Structure 1
């Protein structure tokens, strides 16, 4: 057995004899298990509730009586964002963005019913999930367990004895790093079990689950190397502990929140009121489909009559009102898409500013990787919103087309003949959302993964410098 492994084995033996460390590790494992089951149950409940609500609104839409199609356009429909299995591990921004969209004609609504808006402020400080336990609490326990791993040898005078016996500083540091990394690996067991089960239950998510496991392993390894390096630099364990606690408080708690505030101030989003005013102004400039004298739609009427070779809208083979509804929706949908793209691009600019702080705080990179691989980040949310908007557009245009093809122009103005049968509503509002492919999720997570690996390389270099310092300090 190599000297490094003998030192690691001795370190594990000391750890088993340390009641505080054992109790702390046991509590963390229990908390991780509880967080896993709690998050799983929360996700299962959310999925069942959303599925039940989706079934209910689908049934209510199809149960509408004989109506005018344009009334169904304004009746609207609800869609609910689905959650994959990995959302139980890291729910990401789901609690903040909302999960319900109301689809209606002439409007593009934002998602509603975010859990943060309906719950206590405590939810803003972090949900009890496996991701939260590993991102915030596991590094803190590693700090308490390993801060004195080398400083203790120096204070007790055993470091000189080890060096006198021919053990090199590198072997000592490597053995300590092995021991602390083994402790970190033990902390990951509940998460590995949960991710493994998800990979088996949903094979399509297996690669994403593996990426999550690797990302969190690198995250704790970064802390293990940093803690051993700090313990090598400081002569007293107390100094190493204070420094590492400051690093945890600043890097894990303080910087992520400050980064978000700075990004929000630098690329401020317009308020909902400001956006509504701007959209209303641009809608007025597009033209009013309800005004027969509107210049745009007057020209549209001329083109339509010319295309069909008739001189009156009453002679058109289709209902002109339905055509006007389709054209109006096409114009407004393009405007809504432009505003939505601008809003999302500004949000992505904010995220890029936050990502810059990952060079100072690796937890920012870890969170980006974790949410991206779990399908609960901004990219996945935007994919859902855009998918729902495409569905809204198809739904409204299908109803407008029914008005154009199923109702005559003369009958459309009659209070008795301006309805079509309820059978036409069946299936038209069904929403099927396809989440981002695993390959796309991994591409979104790749930049954050590279930052984490860069941190790992940097801490490995810092540990190498600490080994040199350790050798010179004992001469």
Structure 2
């Protein structure tokens, strides 16, 4: 048996006799399993509830009686965002974003009914999920278990004896790293089993699960190196206090402060300000309900030339429906422009947060974890954009029905009730959210994965350097 394995075996034996290590590992395992089961049950019921509401909304839309197509456009429709199965592992920003869209003509509504707004304020401080346990609690346990791994040898005088017997300091440090890495692997095992079960049951893709396992393995290995590095430099009690301070800064303080800093650097306009600006520009476009609005005079002349007539009454289609189509096109471009600006500012904020990942690997891990779980801003934006595409197609389809199935003269008569058969809106396709391809999620996590690897390389270099310094100090 090699010297490194012998040192690791003795360290494992010491951990088995350490009640803090045994009890802490059991508690962390129970917490991870409880968190996984609780989060999965919440995700399962939330998805079932949203699917039920979506079915009811589809049925209510299709059950409308014969009526004017534009009334159907203003009746509206609801869309509900489905949850990714991996959201049970890391819910990301899902609790803070809305999950319901109300679709209607002439408006682009934001998503509503986020969990944070409907639940206890305690939800704002984090949910008990496997990701939370591994990100926050697992490093803390590694600190308490391994803070004295190397310092103990120096304090007990066994370091000099080991060096005198021919054990190299680097072998000692690598043996301690191996032992603590084995302990870290045990803390990761319950979450890994839960993730593998999601794959076996067909709910998650292998590449994303492997990415999550690799990301959290790198995270725990990173803390193993931090703990052993601190233990190599200072005494046991001082190492414990130093490591707790590092944990508080990297895991608690920076992840809380950096998003606020990014928000101050690139401030988003308030929803109230945005709605005022949008409404001002929307009114300047003209009234799409009024075919005689001067703002649509140029459009009217273009349509008359296209069909070779001089009066809108002579058009083979209903001019009101055409005006509705044009007005919806212009207003949708306006809404999309403001949405693109808002998402651009949020993306810039994310880039600032990513930059701070060089100071706090917690930020890099969270970004990787949310990207793999499809619970990040990119996934939320994907839902909003698909919902807007569906809304636009739905409203324009109804405008086209008005243009092709109702006569302009009849449609302009306030005493005549114009309706078309309800069979038309029963033919509209239902909304189906398409999740991002696995390759997109992997690309979204590439930068964060690179930052974690950079941290590992830096810490590995520092650990090897400290091991050489330890050998000189031991002599």
TM range, smaller chain: over 0.9
Please list the CA deviations of residues 396-416 of structure 1 after superposition, one character each: whole Å capped at 9, or x if unmatched. Answer: 000111111111112223454
CA distance in 1, matches of 2:263, 2:350: 9
Partner of 2:22: 22
Take 1:467 and 1:286, find their aligned partners in 2: how far apart are those partners? 71
Residue 298 of structure 1 corresponds to which residue in structure 2?
A: 297
1:284 deviation in Å? 2.5
In the alignment, the residues of structure 2 paired with residue 284 and residue 417 of structure 1 have an alpha-carbon distance, to the nearest angstrom, of: 28
Q: Is the 8 A contact 1:61 1:429 kept in 2?
A: no
C-alpha deviation, 1:285, in angstroms: 2.6
**What does residue range 105-120 of structure 1 map to in structure 2 within 5 Å?**
105-120=105-120
Task: Indicate if the aligned counterparts of 2:86 and 2:204 stay in contact, CA closer than 8 A.
Answer: no
Q: SS of the counterpart of 1:366?
A: helix
Alignment of 1:54 with 2:54, yes or no, is: yes
Q: How does 1:23-422 map to 2 (within 5 A)?
A: 23-202=23-202, 205-234=205-234, 236-414=235-413, 415-422=415-422
Relative to the length of structure 2, the TM-score reads: 0.98
TM-score (structure 1 length as normaliser)? 0.98
CA distance in 1, matches of 2:474, 2:205: 51
Q: Which residue of 2 aligns with 1:432?
A: 432
1:123 and 1:371 map into 2 onto residues whose CA distance is: 18
* In 2: Cα distance, 1:177 partner to 1:269 partner: 45
- Name the Cα RMSD after superposition: 1.2
**Greater CA drift, 141-150 or 280-289:** 280-289
Structure-2 separation of matches of 1:291 and 1:52: 39
Q: Quick check: 2:317–2:403 contact (8 Å CA) kept in 1? A: yes
| Regions of 4+ moved over 6 Å | none
Shift of 1:243: 0.6
Partner Cα distance (1:91, 1:204) in 2 = 15
Instruction: Measure, in 1, the Cα distance between the counterparts of 2:394 and 2:342.
Output: 24
1:205 Cα deviation from its structure 2 partner: 1.5
Unaligned runs of 5+ in 1: none
1:453 and 2:453 aligned: yes
Q: Distance in 1 between matches of 2:416 and 2:204?
A: 53
Distance 1:320 1:131 in 2: 56
Distance, in Å, in 2 between the alignment partners of 1:413 and 1:55 is: 36
Equivalent in the alignment of 2:13: 13
Pairwise CA distance, 1:118: 1.3
CA-to-aligned-CA distance 1:372-403 (integer Å, 9 cap, x gap): 01111111111111011000000000011111
Residue aligned with 2:220, SS: helix
Find the aligned partners of 2:353 and 2:237 in 1 and give their Cα distance: 33
Question: What is the aligned residue count?
Answer: 474
Q: Is the 8 A contact 2:291 2:323 kept in 1?
A: no
CA contact (8 A) 2:289 2:324 kept: no
CA deviation after TM superposition for structure 1 residue 120, in Å: 1.5
Once the two structures are TM-superposed, the CA of residue 98 in structure 1 deviates from its matched residue by: 1.0
Native 8 Å contact 1:373 1:441 kept in 2: yes
State the distance in 2 between where 1:394 and 1:12 align: 63
Equivalent residues of 2:188, 2:217 under 8 A apart: yes
Q: Is the 8 A contact 1:77 1:429 kept in 2?
A: no
Please say which of residues 169-178 and 111-120 is displaced more in the overlay: 111-120
Secondary structure at the residue paired with 1:55?
Answer: helix
Flag structure 2 segments of 5+ consecutive residues without an equivalent.
none
Deviations 1:14-61 (A, max 9, x none): 101111210011000000000010010010011001000000111111
- Give me the whole-angstrom Cα distance separating, in 2, the residues matched to 1:47 and 1:466: 51
**Inter-partner Cα distance in structure 2 for 1:300 and 1:452:** 56
Partner-residue secondary structure (3-state), 1:231: helix
